[in-house]
Amino acid sequence: MKINQLSYYNHELEWQLEPITFSDLTLLVGISGVGKTQIIKSILNFKK
Mean pLDDT, the chain cut into blocks of 10 residues (48 residues total): 78 82 79 86 76
* Cβ atoms of 22 and 43 closer than 8 Å: no
pLDDT (0 to 100) of residue 8:
80
pLDDT (0 to 100) of residue 36:
86
pLDDT (0 to 100) of residue 1:
63
Residue 13 is which amino acid? L
Nearest to 18 by CA among 34, 6, 29: 6
